[in-house]
Structure 1
Amino acid sequence: MDVSHGSPGRSDAPSIAAVVSSRSWPSISCYRAAVWTQSPRVEMIQSLFKPVPSVTGNKDEGIIRELIMDFYETSKQRKPQQIIIFRDGVSESQFIKVLNEELVPIIEACKYLDEKWSPKFTFIVAQKNHHTKFFKDNAPDNVPPGTVVDTQICHPKNNDFYMCAHAGKIGSIIGTTRPTHYHVLHDEIGFSADDLQELVHSLSYV
């Protein structure tokens, strides 16, 4: 999930919210995208859960219902029991806000679709816009692909880690490999650190 905004100086241009979801289980590399416009410069996605009145009662016309129904129809009428969400473009000061304004509506949308359905959620923020870079000590190379750092420079209490999933360019300057910083804000599934890092690394090559 991500939101992109208009160019600087275009305060009237709507922001674009995009959510990409898996479909056709178990072919996890098949995806569907939902793209919506929303208020300019609003970072939180506004249309995840959108109940509107209709002749037969309220109907949810939000993004999550659209994607869940697509998963259901392409996966032999199967509903996901575990949902892993990757959110881009959120700063640390917005972590509580993104849980309240995005994860909560996602859960509400699932309950609205089927009250008896209770999937487990894991919500992860992936940050790329930071200044942390990795390099090998006393070596003329960047760090190898798959490098993970989850101690020393990470938060002492929160669940976060850095990962360089791919190799840097051959012959490039040392220290140019910029890792992605992952923050696990909510984990009902109960991943171990190694299992989650292995999953993220594998998904980076899909």
Structure 2
Amino acid sequence: MERSPRAMMPLVTQVSTFFVGIDVSHGSPGQSDIPSVAAVVGSREWPLISKYRACVRTQSRKVEMIDNLFKPVTDENGKLVDEGIFWELLFDFYTSSGKRRPEHIIIFRDGVSEYQFNQVHNIELDQMMQACKFVEENWEPKFTVIIAQKNHHTKFFQAESPGNVPPDNVPPGTIVDSKICHPRNNDFYLCAHNGMIGTTRPTHYHVLYDEIGFSTDDLQELVHSLSYVYQRSTTAISV
């Protein structure tokens, strides 16, 4: 019997949860006049996890950290308002979800290296927390921040492939969270997609911050499930 999404992911479907995806793209080498582009998406119409609103802003070239997630300014009436990216997406979640504020906020950050993890925590997460405080001082949703990395050299294949050259890819949905992972940090590799050509490269996920308190299995199941909600694909995608 097929389980419903509510039964499979109670921490997401029974508690109002806001999903955020963050990435920054840069101009090609040698293009000194091309600004970097910060793209942020936020989920809407909770309890759905497959509808998102996008917000795109330019910023200084070659700057990876987003500096306008929280942007308090004074409007024409002298009132202090937030014109940051995070507020725009948060307000859309609120209006599309029956005027419900999220109790849990899960952030996926792409495109950063390990030496930038502290910057994501101290700069970007801090801005989003400030944006929530700006809405209401006593509103304290729980945050979870996950880094997704594709730029690495780890690949998986089946050791028992029956004489195939190259060896068979691992089945889609394969997770590796021991042996080759960090001895202390919470990280895992997920090969969610079915590689049709070549050897599949898994996505390396690092749980940078977790106030929600996911168990290891629940979090891995959630990330795997999100690999199936890309609207232009009928199968799982790699990240």
TM-score range, shorter chain: over 0.9
> Of 180, 198, 202, which residue of structure 1 is paired with 2:221?
198
User: Which deviates further from its counterpart, 57-66 or 85-94?
Assistant: 57-66
Q: What is residue 178 of structure 1 aligned with on the other side?
A: 201
Aligned residue for 1:184, secondary structure, equals strand
Aligned residue for 1:21, secondary structure, equals strand
Aligned residue for 1:78, secondary structure, equals coil
Note if 1:146 corresponds to 2:173.
yes
TM-score by length of 1: 0.96
**C-alpha deviations, 1:61-117, integer Å up to 9, x for none?**
000110111011111100110000000000001000111110000000011012121
Aligned pair count reads 202
Note if 1:14 corresponds to 2:46.
no
- Are the counterparts in 2 of residues 65 and 109 from structure 1 also a CA contact under 8 Å? yes
Q: What is residue 165 of structure 1 aligned with on the other side?
A: 192
Note if 1:30 corresponds to 2:51.
yes
- Are the counterparts in 2 of residues 11 and 41 from structure 1 also a CA contact under 8 Å? no
Q: What is residue 100 of structure 1 aligned with on the other side?
A: 122
Q: Using the TM superposition, give the Cα deviation of residue 138 of structure 1 relative to its aligned residue in structure 2, in angstroms.
A: 2.7
Aligned residue for 1:56, secondary structure, equals coil
- Are the counterparts in 2 of residues 49 and 62 from structure 1 also a CA contact under 8 Å? yes
Aligned residue for 2:188, secondary structure, equals strand
Q: Using the TM superposition, give the Cα deviation of residue 8 of structure 1 relative to its aligned residue in structure 2, in angstroms.
A: 1.0
TM-score by length of 2: 0.83
Give 2:67's aligned amino acid. Answer: Q
> Of 129, 132, 137, which residue of structure 1 is paired with 2:154?
132
* Runs ≥4 residues deviating over 2 A: 54-57
Unaligned stretches of 5+ residues in structure 1: none
Q: What is residue 12 of structure 2 aligned with on the other side?
A: none
Q: What is residue 235 of structure 2 aligned with on the other side?
A: none
Give me the identity figure in percent: 68
Give 2:149's aligned amino acid. Answer: Q
> Of 65, 71, 96, which residue of structure 1 is paired with 2:87?
65
User: Which deviates further from its counterpart, 35-44 or 133-142?
Assistant: 133-142
Q: Using the TM superposition, give the Cα deviation of residue 12 of structure 1 relative to its aligned residue in structure 2, in angstroms.
A: 1.7
Unaligned stretches of 5+ residues in structure 2: 1-21, 230-239
Aligned residue for 1:148, secondary structure, equals strand
Note if 1:50 corresponds to 2:77.
no
Give 1:145's aligned amino acid. Answer: P
Measured on the aligned residues, the alpha-carbon RMSD in Å equals 0.9
- Report the Cα distance in structure 1 between the residues aligned to 2:204 and 2:149, rounded to whole angstroms: 5
